[in-house]
Amino acid sequence: MTHQPDIQHYAVSVVGKDRPGIVAGITEVLFRLGCNIADSSCTMLAGEFAMILIVSHPRPFGKGRLFEELKPVCEGLGMSLAVRTLHADETERQEAGGEICMVSVYGADQPGIVYRVTRELAGLGINITDLNTKLIGTEAEPVYVMMLEAALPDGQTPEGLEALLGDLKKELNVEIGVRVITPVSL
């Protein structure tokens, strides 16, 4: 029987002005330290770059060492850094109970679209697993686009959700569509 090492997980967040080399600089430190990247998300928003990584490392290894090794690279890149130790229950994969859907919202840019749609979904017990927004169109006629990946609770259907969002669609004067995301088997 082989002994499995005791693994500690950390959430690493890096945010700052976009420039080439951010991902390479951060991941070089993680590689040098022997960290494994379990999950990651990186995106650029209006010239700001944000990344969040879930990394693991066998114990003994501490959050302080991870922070101190990443800090000079982040400072050199002009990025802010946060490191948080994750508890065991925070590292378990959360499987969705129902269907995974893509909710798309298109309409004239106006305050409150994200809040109103996400509040409605939360009220229905729907968990948002990913959310992206952007402006498209022209400066004279901007169109706000929001794409949400959401886990529907058992018993909820994409068609039912789209119907439940009908009043909000009219109130905000936006188009709202819901479609199933087909899981891919590896």
Residue 58 has pLDDT above 70, yes or no: yes
Q: Please tell me the class of the 7-90 domain.
A: alpha beta
Q: Which residues contact 62 (CB under 8 A, 6 or more apart)?
A: none
User: What's the predicted TM-score (pTM) here?
Assistant: 0.72
Domain ranges (residues) in the chain: 7-90, 100-180
DSSP β-bridge partners for residue 102? 149, 179
Do domains 7-90 and 100-180 share one topology? The answer is: yes
- 60 confidence band (pLDDT: 50, 70, 90): confident
In the sheet that holds 36-45, the strands lie side by side as 36-45, 48-58, 7-17, 79-86
Q: Which residues contact 81 (CB under 8 A, 6 or more apart)?
A: 12, 13, 14, 67, 70, 71, 74
What is the chain's mean pLDDT, rounded? Answer: 89
Check if CATH label 3.40.47.10 holds for domain 100-180. no
Query: Residue 174, Cβ neighbours under 10 Å: how many?
Result: 22
Q: Which residues of 110-131 are buried (b: 16+ CB within 10 A; e: fewer)?
A: eeebeebbbebbeeeebeeeee
Nearest residue to 129 via CA among 102, 108, 111: 102
Residue 186 has pLDDT above 70, yes or no: no
pLDDT tens digit sequence for 75-101: 999 999 999 999 877 766 655 567 899
